A = this chain, B = another copy of it.
Amino acid sequence: MDLPNNTIDRVCRIFGCLESLEERQVDFVSSKDLAQAIGTTNDTIRKDISLLGVTGYTRKGYSVVSLKKELGQTLKLDKKRKACIVGLGRLGTALLDYERFKQDGFEIVAGFDNSINKLERIKTHIDVFAISEMENIIAQKSIELGIITVPANNAQEVADELIKAGVSGILNFSPEKIVVPKEIIYLDMDFTSALRFIAARFITNKLRKSRVA
């Protein structure tokens, strides 16, 4: 399959909306509602959904439950995935305990840091290890995703090790830019760039947009 990046981005957000609609026991949702929630047009939503080959119910909109199920199956969002966090500073430890991840299908199964001190002080039910153990643990636990929350300066090094250890996707919260081989799926979540994006948009007059990250 070969979908537009933007479509994938939007579908992931749509999936999140469906999740909360499901919790609130809403049965049907229209392309217009979804469009409003994620900040796009109803045409785009319908096109996205149709690109995935999924079909709704005329006149009533889409069945929340079945749309969620179908999108999930198509993009394999229903599969549970294991992730680890490297860098257990304040952000890293906050993410370690971010309960939402688990309920959304991403289980954080390990944390890594180089400071013995931190490893000892951390109170969490998730196992934490020294970075030197990363390669073993990742292989052993079949971890697919790496979340980088180290300070700048050794983010690249950490990324290289994650890749060597076998993860296929990396989410980078550090401000440092990272270069990865193109078979690795990589997403940059630099907070400063995000704030700058907003600030820069103050002086342009375009419509808002989600910007995947």
Contact = CB atoms under 8 A, between A and B. Distances in A.
Interface of A: 1-3, 5, 8-9, 11-13, 15-17, 20, 36-39, 75-77, 79, 81, 83, 89-91, 93-95, 97-98, 100-101, 104, 106, 144-145, 152, 168-171, 175-177, 179-180, 182, 184-213
A97 B104 contact: no
A185 B211 contact: no
A12 B200 contact: yes
Nearest to A5: B209
Nearest to A8: B200
A202 B76 contact: yes
A177 B9 contact: no
Given A76-B202, A77-B196, A90-B93, 4 more contacts: A2-B206, A16-B177, A75-B203, A209-B212
A175 B101 CA distance: 10
Contact of A81 (B37, B199, B207): B199
A171 B200 contact: no
A3 B204 contact: yes
Contacts of A101: 191-192, 195
B2 A197 contact: no
13 contacts: A3-B204, A5-B206, A16-B175, A16-B192, A39-B179, A77-B196, A77-B199, A91-B94, A95-B191, A104-B196, A189-B189, A211-B213, A212-B213
A163 to B, nearest CB: 13
Contacts of A207: 182
A20 B182 contact: no
B196 A171 contact: no
Nearest to A186: B208
A2 to B, nearest CB: 6
A208 B182 contact: yes
A109 B126 CA distance: 34
Given A81-B199, A177-B38, A201-B169, A212 B191 contact: no
